[in-house]
Amino acid sequence: MDEETTGDSETLLERPGPAELRKPVLFRTYRRRWFLLVVICLLNCSNAMLWLTFAPVADKTAAYFHISMDTINWLSLVYLLISIPFGLVATWILDTVGLKCAVILSAWLNMVGSVIRTFSVISFLSLGSLTYTYLFIGQCLCALAQPLVIFSPTKLAALWFPDHQRATANMISSMSNPLGILIANLLSPTLVSEEKDIPRMLGLYAIPAVTACILATVGVHDKVPPTPPSASATHSTSQPFFKGLKMLLRNKPYVILMVCFGAGIGMFTCFSALLEQILCVRGYSNFFAGLNGALFTVFGLLGAFLLGLYVDKTRKFIESTKVCFCLTALASIAFAVMSQFRNQAFPLALISSLFGFFGFSIYPVAMELAVECSYPVGEGTSTGLIFVSSQIQGVILMLLLQALTVQISSAPFSTCDIEEGGALDWTVPTLVMAGACSVVACFYVIFFHTDYKRLRAEASNAASINKIGTEATAPEA
């Protein structure tokens, strides 16, 4: 028996209409929603691992493939570039074709890309100058999977989970992406102590992708549950894609959220991709950079978990995001200042932890807030546009930060590999990133205000059904 039939997993309602046509409406949850959650979590985690495989060991990867550090950065940057045009396609797939297609397609793109990446380090293939080409092609396929993977959590939560579990389900599946970043930050420096370890790293990173692909292909059968878990789930794709797109672009609160939250994601993307390069010039090791990235993510997961539970109970989406955004801006300023000094391991670790705790916790709540302020537009479209905005801003910011770096002729304490391109001073870029974060936080706090449209629609629907039920039973009293 797949259905859960205990507790509050079923709600019996009356449909309005003539007495002879009135039928019971059953809202039901299914145990297999947890399997879908596991699959999407594994996909999210695997895709993030593939994205940031090389960032913690950028210098050794550059030496192994005999390429510059800027070329290595393109392995991360390509995710942002590809996700901009394909993000719109991904929103259409989710809201028009369905969740099942999105999950299976993303699983296959992710798996094939991870396998092709390993071709670049297989010696008997004798690829010669094409090794980096295969690596880049594999990374591009993984990048194609990213929008489908990242847009899926809100769709899964809306279609398969009841209203009191939505924020938590979205938090769990969304935070599996930074969990992948955490694993990459810890695993890559551990696996790669010298250049020759790069092939082993690529092979191990392909295992989660293959596992997720098998689970998605074999286990995902339905794009929607047979019976919806809530009233809003019955209208999850009520607006056609292009009509929904127009509605979003005319929705002032949504546009503000899209710009501000998109900027926040873009900054976190740059921070994760460039952390090792920022710290190594001051004498910090790859291991310490990976540790900071890990603390950044671990405390981010903790913050997201706690804030998700809080918002599920209080429904204070706006207040929570505004407070956390301001605290994130303060943490970014502290990091920009402290990263300029040597031998500041403890303060940097503490700041990275706070930066992640307040910054990452906004992510799942803001995704739910995007759906609330844009209802009844489809969840894939509302979250997808924010993601596309974040990728555009991430590309601009990453290119700007790299352009603001200054070549250092003498860096006696640097632990960077200076054979390819030399050491770079990141003082100005980190200060610019902190300033941008502060400006965006202030703008969001001052200008963002919205109603919770989905919650209001559900409350109105419940009130109307209760009224109908009372009228129907009154004559029998």
Confidence of residue 347 (pLDDT cuts 50, 70, 90): very high
What mean pLDDT, rounded, does the chain reach?
81
**What letter represents residue 58's amino acid?**
A
What pLDDT does residue 475 have? 39
pLDDT-above-90 percentage for the chain: 26
pLDDT at 236 over 70: no
CB 132 within 8 A of CB 75: no
What pLDDT does residue 275 have? 85
Alpha-carbon distance of 347 to 335, in angstroms, equals: 9
pLDDT at 470 over 80: no
Per-residue tokens: 364: 């799942």
Dihedral (CA of 304, 181, 299, 436) sign: negative
Q: What b/e readout covers 79-89, taking b as 16+ CB neighbours within 10 angstroms?
A: bbbbbbebbbe
Q: Which residue has the tokens 């790293």?
A: 201
CB within 8 Å of 318: residues ≥ 6 apart: 369, 448, 449, 450
Tell me the whole-structure pTM to 2 decimals: 0.70
Stretch among 1-15, 218-232, 404-418, 424-438 having the lowest mean pLDDT: 1-15
Stretch among 10-14, 299-303, 320-324, 385-389 having the lowest mean pLDDT: 10-14
Alpha-carbon distance of 402 to 433, in angstroms, equals: 12
Find, among 245, 266, 209, 357, the residue nearest to 79 by Cα.
266
CB 330 within 8 A of CB 201: no
Q: Are strands 406-407 and 10-14 parallel, antiparallel or unpaired?
A: unpaired
Per-residue tokens: 85: 């045009």
Dihedral (CA of 439, 445, 446, 452) sign: positive
Over residues 147-159, mean pLDDT: 83
Confidence of residue 18 (pLDDT cuts 50, 70, 90): very low
